[in-house]
Structure 1
Amino acid sequence: MAVKKTELYRSLWAGCDELRGGMDASQYKDYVLTLLFLKYVSDKYAGDPDGIIIVPDGASFQDLEALKGDKEIGDKINQIIGNLAKENDLDGVINVADFNDEDKLGKGKEMVDRLSKLVGIFAGLNLSANRAEGDDLLGDAYEYLMRHFATESGKSKGQFYTPAEVSRVLAKVVGITPETRQDATVYDPTCGSGSLLLKVADEAPNGLTIYGQEMDNATVALARMNMILHDYPTADIWKGNTLASPYWKNSDGSLKTFDFAVANPPFSYKSWSHGINIIKDEFNRFEDGAPPDKNGDYAFLLHILKSLKPRGKAAVILPHGVLFRGNAEARIRQNLLRKGYIKGIIGLPPNLFYGTGIPACILVIDNADADSRQGVFMVDASQGFIKDGNKNRLRSQDIHKIVDVFTHQMELSGYSRMVELAEIAANDYNLNIPRYIDASEPEDIHDLSAHLNGGIPQADIDALEEYWRVFPQVRSALFAPSHRPGYSQGLVAASQVAATILNHPEFKAFADSTLTLYQEWRQYHQGRLKGIGIGDKPKEVIRVLSEDLLARFAGAELLDKYDIYQLLMDYWAETMQDDVYVLVQDGWEVGKVLRELVVKKGEKLRETPDLLMGKKKYKADLIPPGLIVARYFADKQAYIDKLQADLDGVTQELEGLIEEHSGEDGALSDAQTDGGKVTKTKVKQLIVANGQLTIDGSELSVDGEQLSILEQCLELFDLEAEMKRVVKEAQASLDKAVFAQYGKLTEAEIKGLVVDDKWQKTLEAAISGEIERVTQQLANRVKTLEERYAEPLPQLVQEVEMLSSKVDEHLRRMGLEWN
């Protein structure tokens, strides 16, 4: 069976655990990623004379496996990797990490054990069945590792990786279309590990020619390996300082130009001008102004502008400061705006990037139509993110919304607008987004008149118009006009507002009509999902599913279509993705398979078993046993649930009896152990004595009342033990039936279990929850308004005076006087 994504990730991260301690993440990533690369090319190309990588004799991963336990394992690994590098012109790419470095890997037996375990982890993975196309597991795993390495590397060492979510935004807004030609070029002057370039290439149906430059040698190696793993072996990635020594030049010495450019340069790079004659730059990059000596943000942007063709397009990540900083940068900004190069600006949330927490923006450059450009399209996407550990992360819905709004130039209040150049000029060419878009939440203003005289302000109720448009009768059920113009009175107690809304026929009609949108989507894609076959592309599957779901919910009342989209994307990431990857590699028959979990001596079980059969533990990779039980053995499960409920009742009764009669003078005190626990053995000893009894040299007598309680306790102990036995036997019988049922499943049954019982029921429950959540927002607001104005100030004053008089009266009766 081909490896699943989550299993692959787990194994790779286990490899990292073997190296932790001797080095930090910025170093051990080179070891793990090198072995991943070697394992992949060995499984994929060994023995293939037409493969893009030649695996010579003695230079495969199998040769590494033979070294486990070898005293010279480190040196011999270096030799094997060196041979593979030499054969494929990858010297300085895949042999950067030194596997014989005693300072990092330990000396003697410590190094041998560490490298042997590391090789063993990779040896357990079968990567030959995983393709290297757009759905390549290895490319995704490589990115997964780099994201984790960047997270752990600390501030100064996380710059080799642009978060995948941000890369996707750049790739989608830079201007690639289905008509983009295969010979079109894309360039990244600070390409890091190449993830941004790859995201752009994925957006081009016909492919792109990739060029990149990176100044760090180890990071260049990561990028080259990354390109091969993603099936872009011809991508040109070169080492060097892009600003001081650009590699990509024409025969006449001028900068080579490209159709597209993307970049995430180091923020506010202080050493950018080293080796550059700013006044007489040979490439004339600074004709629109010279950036400050200690801040290179505009230096990279100006380099990219000079590297674009006359109709070229670019998307560049820069810190927010480039939008509003003054002096030299203000002059450059003014010139770029007057020339029309800047098509748009996208403000991103803070704390997205590794190595810095400051907010950043995307500048979208478009040379085409620059002469006639009269405005800049701005997007404030700073509020759309989710917390992910100590960083923020764009969700799928955030990415989609940004791209939709920017691509179609959609103006949304508080989110996006086209800003005329005249307005920007009036603001001294300051591009700070909050000057043009107010994304702040409106204040919740209290009505002083309502606090003084009672009633709920009509303005607050009218502000919920989007709800009343859908629930006009609900409004009538919740509010009625009061004697004061402009104010209403609540008809339902605050505690009953939610129930009133949820039980109203209008809400039920709304819920039904909204779920119908999902059910129509489900029916439309039923054949597609049950028709998933070997060789299909999972990423294409989820693209079609998600885009159609988004389109169907575009007109849904009250619901945000992007929230619904996110429900599907979350479930895809958590569960469905792994299922589809398994299906496209092994087919539906994998639904019959229960994989036995075998643990070697001295190792720990890495996966939680789904089914226990005696001492054997099994994992279901596609169909959890609960689905088998629900469809075929619901009666048996109901019987076990009844037995368990009865057992729980007996256990509670026993615990109650023990709690009531234990303690120093309790009837069960003599049945307690030194730890204070009442045991069946102690209870039985006391009952057998039935009179005088000596325990630990002390004579104890058991009277009739105590004996009755002891006998009751023993009876409950016996009953509990017997019921536990019955439950265990019933569960074992059910497990045996479930185990046998897997082998009996037909393909049609497997499809029903996976598509209907697993995927669709989960998604329908999630959408139902979202429908209820939206109406709960209405309930919470109504409840807030009713509670806020429930007691006007005069009433509160009257209540205070009444309570004060009662206190005074009580004090007088006690002979006290309150001054």
Structure 2
Amino acid sequence: MAEEQAQLRGKPSAVPEEYGWPSLMERDGDELETHYRHVLENLGKQKGMLGLIFKKAQNKIQDPAKLRRLIVELIDKEQWTSIASDVKGDAYEGLLEKNASDVKGGAGQYFTPRALIAAMVDAMAPQPGQTICDPACGTGGFLLAAHDYLVKHHELDREQKKALRNETLFGIELVDSVTRLCAMNLLLHGIGGDTDAKELPVTTKDGLSGKHGEYDMVLANPPFGKKSSVTIVNEAGEQQKEALIINRDDFWASTSNKQLNFLQHIFTILKQHGRAAVVLPDNVLFEGGAGETIRRELLKQADVHTLLRLPTGIFYAQGVKANVVFFDRKPAQEKPWTSKLWIYDLRTNMHFTLKTNPLKRSDLDDFVNCYFGGDVSPQASAAGSESQPYLGNRHDRKETDRFKSFDYADLVKRDKANLDIFWLKDESLEDSANLPDPDVLALEITEDLEAALEQFATIAEDLKE
């Protein structure tokens, strides 16, 4: 693609000439295989997105004849730049989703349902000029959805487009290989390609190790799981056990709970009046000790205005019960910033599965409408259009069967400031005629058992260590 773009624009390729595409086309046999290995090695040492994408890249095709056929007869025959970026992006997303569905070997742990991401971004409604961060970005789903929202809903001028490419979206990822996936994903969507950009859109590091900037918006699904310790082998080959407790003087409480730490971290990287939407498991809502401390401080120091209770059966990690917490960071003051928490229950009497009944964006339409206090579809208002949606007013919210509000005073009176609140009756508990289909029931039981087994395996591993 770099070579095609160079020919179209009459400018030098972003890839150095000696490692460019023509250097592969003019070689054959062992010479090609040797040169290709050197190309990968040297591109991995380049600055910017190129170096990030090719870092530690290896040639997996040892047969020179197959490598030649792949390069000359397959890849070179296609005009890649003439394929619209959204087509390339869709193909890449499809590949990621296929890998993610293979739970044991794939990227399932990094994969958030795209319908949920789209609804979260629609509710947050990012604006041009705002900086957006995902401190546990995985393959970049939230960043891409925010990018697509800005392109679709705003007429951007040249400077705004440049800012969107290089100064708007930022991701942090712990695992090198996943950072590579994210960088490729972003580059295919035209993000981060400028070599003169001050900062790469995605970086490999431990997001919890310290602050890495302040942002107008955070969209995230921090990794699930809760190991209390990790075994590290030192230089002498000796095993050491280190507790996974993060000590940060800007945190309200020290804990080994990864999600509670990410919640605190996200608060610290928001600018004043910055906004966040974070996917968190149920235990964050009711856990005592550090969990209670963090919830009380968050309710006081931020405006925690919305909680979406998610249905089961939508994540590749089996049996996960999760929520989306929406909050705005505010300046310090004596009076608590949260006045009302609005909770939308998309879990009770809702049944989804990954394959037979997957979560669709339309399943979240009612939540997004409730979030904005009215029907925000383009057809609903003359003020709205496909390019500039009508976003309603959060202060005009009205209660429905699934959407209820709870005052701050009532929340902090609850035992441990427990936010795991529900009010709808589970129909399956009242009348066997309302039970889900047997295959749905069987799948839910299987998911719960697998989740329990995974937790016990973690406990057993910790005890063994």
Common fold by TM > 0.5: yes
Q: For residue 261 of structure 1, what is the amino acid of its counterpart? A: V
Mapped to 2, the partners of 1:89 and 1:443 lie a distance apart of 59
Within the candidate set 29, 42, 62, 2:3 is matched to 42
Within the candidate set 183, 187, 196, 2:142 is matched to 196
Find out whether 1:359 has 2:359 as its counterpart.
Answer: no
The verdict on how the C-alpha distance between 1:50 and 1:313 changes in structure 2, with shifts beyond 3 A counting, is farther
User: 8 Å contact 1:348–1:381 — kept in the other structure?
Assistant: yes
| Distance apart, 1:401 and its partner CA | 2.7
Match of 1:164? 114
The verdict on how the C-alpha distance between 1:387 and 1:153 changes in structure 2, with shifts beyond 3 A counting, is closer
Q: For residue 197 of structure 1, what is the amino acid of its counterpart? A: L
Within the candidate set 54, 72, 81, 2:14 is matched to 54
Match of 1:213? 172
Match of 1:267? 224
Find out whether 1:302 has 2:264 as its counterpart.
Answer: yes
| Distance apart, 1:213 and its partner CA | 1.4
Q: For residue 59 of structure 2, what is the amino acid of its counterpart? A: N
| Distance apart, 1:365 and its partner CA | 1.4
Unaligned runs of 5+ in 2: 157-163, 231-241, 374-393, 434-465
- Within-5 A mapping of 1:640-719: none
Q: For residue 394 of structure 1, what is the amino acid of its counterpart? A: L
Match of 1:376? 341
User: 8 Å contact 2:136–2:171 — kept in the other structure?
Assistant: yes
Match of 2:206? 241
User: 8 Å contact 1:405–1:411 — kept in the other structure?
Assistant: yes
Find out whether 1:151 has 2:101 as its counterpart.
Answer: yes
3-state DSSP of counterpart to 1:365: strand
The verdict on how the C-alpha distance between 1:286 and 1:445 changes in structure 2, with shifts beyond 3 A counting, is closer
User: 8 Å contact 2:281–2:320 — kept in the other structure?
Assistant: yes
| Distance apart, 1:303 and its partner CA | 0.5
Match of 1:416? 403
3-state DSSP of counterpart to 1:265: coil
Mapped to 2, the partners of 1:70 and 1:307 lie a distance apart of 52
Find out whether 1:349 has 2:349 as its counterpart.
Answer: no
User: 8 Å contact 2:99–2:106 — kept in the other structure?
Assistant: no
After superposition, what is the alpha-carbon deviation per residue over 1:97-123, rounded to whole angstroms, capped at 9, x for unaligned? 64434xxx5x5x4x7437744874434
| Distance apart, 1:167 and its partner CA | 1.8
The verdict on how the C-alpha distance between 1:173 and 1:269 changes in structure 2, with shifts beyond 3 A counting, is farther
| Distance apart, 1:127 and its partner CA | 2.1
User: 8 Å contact 1:344–1:377 — kept in the other structure?
Assistant: yes
Find out whether 1:173 has 2:123 as its counterpart.
Answer: yes
- Within-5 A mapping of 1:538-549: none
After superposition, what is the alpha-carbon deviation per residue over 1:224-253, rounded to whole angstroms, capped at 9, x for unaligned? 22222211215532211111255x2xxxxx
After superposition, what is the alpha-carbon deviation per residue over 1:193-216, rounded to whole angstroms, capped at 9, x for unaligned? 222112123323354612221111
Mapped to 2, the partners of 1:224 and 1:344 lie a distance apart of 32
Mapped to 1, the partners of 2:107 and 2:81 lie a distance apart of 33
Q: For residue 265 of structure 1, what is the amino acid of its counterpart? A: P
The verdict on how the C-alpha distance between 1:227 and 1:432 changes in structure 2, with shifts beyond 3 A counting, is same
The verdict on how the C-alpha distance between 1:425 and 1:418 changes in structure 2, with shifts beyond 3 A counting, is same
3-state DSSP of counterpart to 1:93: helix
User: 8 Å contact 1:376–1:418 — kept in the other structure?
Assistant: yes
The verdict on how the C-alpha distance between 1:121 and 1:275 changes in structure 2, with shifts beyond 3 A counting, is farther
The verdict on how the C-alpha distance between 1:412 and 1:45 changes in structure 2, with shifts beyond 3 A counting, is farther
| Distance apart, 1:346 and its partner CA | 0.8
User: 8 Å contact 2:43–2:55 — kept in the other structure?
Assistant: no
Structure-1-length-normalised TM-score: 0.41
Find out whether 1:126 has 2:79 as its counterpart.
Answer: yes
After superposition, what is the alpha-carbon deviation per residue over 1:42-87, rounded to whole angstroms, capped at 9, x for unaligned? 3334463558x614435444554566x7345543333334555556
3-state DSSP of counterpart to 1:343: strand
- Within-5 A mapping of 1:484-523: none
Match of 1:315? 277
3-state DSSP of counterpart to 1:286: coil
After superposition, what is the alpha-carbon deviation per residue over 1:738-757, rounded to whole angstroms, capped at 9, x for unaligned? xxxxxxxxxxxxxxxxxxxx
Find out whether 1:285 has 2:250 as its counterpart.
Answer: yes
Q: For residue 236 of structure 1, what is the amino acid of its counterpart? A: P
| Distance apart, 1:395 and its partner CA | 0.7
After superposition, what is the alpha-carbon deviation per residue over 1:148-175, rounded to whole angstroms, capped at 9, x for unaligned? 1121252784233333222212222235
After superposition, what is the alpha-carbon deviation per residue over 1:332-372, rounded to whole angstroms, capped at 9, x for unaligned? 22332244432211111223223444121111111259944
Mapped to 2, the partners of 1:437 and 1:335 lie a distance apart of 28
Mapped to 1, the partners of 2:68 and 2:358 lie a distance apart of 34
| Distance apart, 1:305 and its partner CA | 0.3
Match of 2:454? none
Q: Bigger relative contact order, structure 1 or 2, given CA contacts below 8 A and separation 6+?
A: 2
3-state DSSP of counterpart to 1:266: coil
Identity of aligned residues (%): 24
Mapped to 2, the partners of 1:129 and 1:190 lie a distance apart of 33
The CA RMSD over aligned residues, in Å, is 3.5
Mapped to 2, the partners of 1:155 and 1:347 lie a distance apart of 29
Within the candidate set 257, 266, 289, 2:214 is matched to 257
Within the candidate set 326, 332, 343, 2:288 is matched to 326
3-state DSSP of counterpart to 2:264: helix
Match of 1:76? 35
Match of 1:222? 181
After superposition, what is the alpha-carbon deviation per residue over 1:266-320, rounded to whole angstroms, capped at 9, x for unaligned? 11342689698756x2xx3322x223x2x21110000010111110111111112
3-state DSSP of counterpart to 2:88: helix
| Distance apart, 1:376 and its partner CA | 0.6
The verdict on how the C-alpha distance between 1:131 and 1:444 changes in structure 2, with shifts beyond 3 A counting, is same
Give aligned pairs, total.
376
